[in-house]
Amino acid sequence: MSAGDPTARGLSEAPVPLAQPVLGEPEEQAVLEVLRSGQLSLGPRAPEFERAFAARVGARYASAVSSGTTGLHLALRAVGVRDGAEVITTPFSFVASANVAIYERARPVFVDIDPVTLNLNAEEAAAAVNERTAALLPVHVFGYPADMARLERTGVPIVEDACEALGGVYADGGTIGGRGHLAVFGFYANKQITTGEGGVVVGGDPEFKERIDSERNQGRAPNMDWLDHDRLGFNYRLSDIACALGLAQLERLDALLAGRERVAGLYREALADLPELTLPCENHGQARRGWFVYVVQLPRGVDRDAVITQLGARGIAAKPYFPAIHLTRFYRETFGYRRGQFPVCEDVSDRSIAIPFFPRMSEGQVARVAAGLAAVLQSTPRTSGRLASHAR
């Protein structure tokens, strides 16, 4: 594009969104085929998608479900989480990963996070295990693998929230999702692949699959008639329309992941001049991040919300990411959680913003975000350190 091209200039001025799915002809074709077949659910696309997804992450099987949240819910039920049990998890996550325990009248027990990886602190998680603990629910936050080896030494059943981690690799090698535990992926439109709404549960124990497949479908076993039910179930199915979309997205997964990797590299370079910012941690050992979002931590004392507003005024989308779960109103009022209990999580959460990140982001868009951040950081007034974040 030449500098004098008015179209190019117009495009570069357009707002930069936080996320943008890659959807094209193959997705349109795949969906059209299902529409024309007349079989919109419980058809052939769901098992095809499940087989392709399981193969991709090296799992024995996959079960397609209506969302990441419903997948986590069924996974917790499968490992035996019930009334009065405790589920040890992280307060630095999307709220769904803790809510699913509450659906079963179990208690989410939070432990603080590692300041570098931002994943739950595995030593603290191990120390929190007691006779009521029914499951550990680590989240591979922002696609970076949690310390699985340490969690596994507790012997407690594990459900992995891998909703942000498609394409990631564990610290001891192996694709995230292929470890044998139940692991859940989500396909909302900002994830590595999308089905609009949707998710899968992958795993290694066939008994878990039997139960999950039945419970997502009103408690019906595969060999049973339409209106026969042998256990309590839900409607957590994923339609054939969505599964067809998922198959088309899987076909281009390598390119989607490579695109995210490329943009992360561009940011790493473009933001190197802003040493005040804390960038996502680098891969360590064999661990590989499955790039999902680009989250930076602002320096202490900077008004995070003012930064977001000013970026917005420049046409750059940004969001606080994540707000600490234990400090949301429902958790404070229901469980009595309060500020000060998980200081690392609170400090990180007070300073973290997600900036635009998607596979086809251009160099120009990355440069514009970086320049915008630099300008906004320079013009935002500072208060002194920690006091500011705690006062909010």
Ligand X SMILES: *Cc1c(COP(=O)(O)O)cnc(C)c1O
89 in contact with ligand X (CB under 6 A): no
Which residues are bridge partners to 297 per DSSP?
278, 352
Q: Under rule CB under 6 A, how many of the chain's residues touch ligand X?
A: 14
Smallest gap from residue 94 Cβ to ligand X (A) = 4
**Is residue 46 near ligand X by the rule CB under 6 A?**
no
Q: Are 240 and 34 in contact (CB under 8 A)?
A: yes
Give the catalytic positions in this structure. Answer: 191
- Single out the residue of 49, 94, 144, 331 in contact with ligand X (rule: CB under 6 A): 94
Amino acid letter for position 298: L
- Of the candidates 59, 88, 96, 183, which one interacts with ligand X according to CB under 6 A? 96
Give the span between the Cα atoms of 223 and 251, in whole angstroms.
Answer: 31
Side chain identity at 170, as an amino acid letter? Y
Other CB atoms closer than 10 Å to residue 44's CB: what's the count?
A: 13
Does 215 bind ligand X (CB under 6 A)? Our answer is no
Q: Outline where DSSP puts E strands in 187-286.
A: 199-203
Distance, in Å, from the CA atom of 185 to the CA atom of 199, rounded to the nearest integer, reads: 5
Of the residues 145, 167, 199, 372, which one makes contact with ligand X according to CB under 6 A: 199
Check binding of 145 to ligand X (CB under 6 A): no
DSSP 303: -
Near ligand X by CB under 6 A: residue from 163, 200, 266, 327: 163
Q: Which residue is nearest to ligand X (CB)?
A: 68
* Using rule CB under 6 A, residue 164 touches ligand X: yes
From residue 234, alpha-carbon distances to 39, 187, 223, 263 in Å are: 21, 19, 18, 39
Closest distance of CB 200 from ligand X, Å: 10
Stretch that binds ligand X, among 89-97, 106-114, 145-153, 260-268 (CB under 6 A): 89-97
Residue of 63, 89, 90, 93 interacting with ligand X (CB under 6 A): 93
Distance CA 357, CA 261 (A): 10
Between CA 76 and CA 133 the distance in angstroms is: 12
Nearer to ligand X, 194 or 297 (CB): 194
Interface residue list for ligand X (CB under 6 A): 67-69, 93-94, 96-97, 139, 161, 163-164, 186, 188, 199
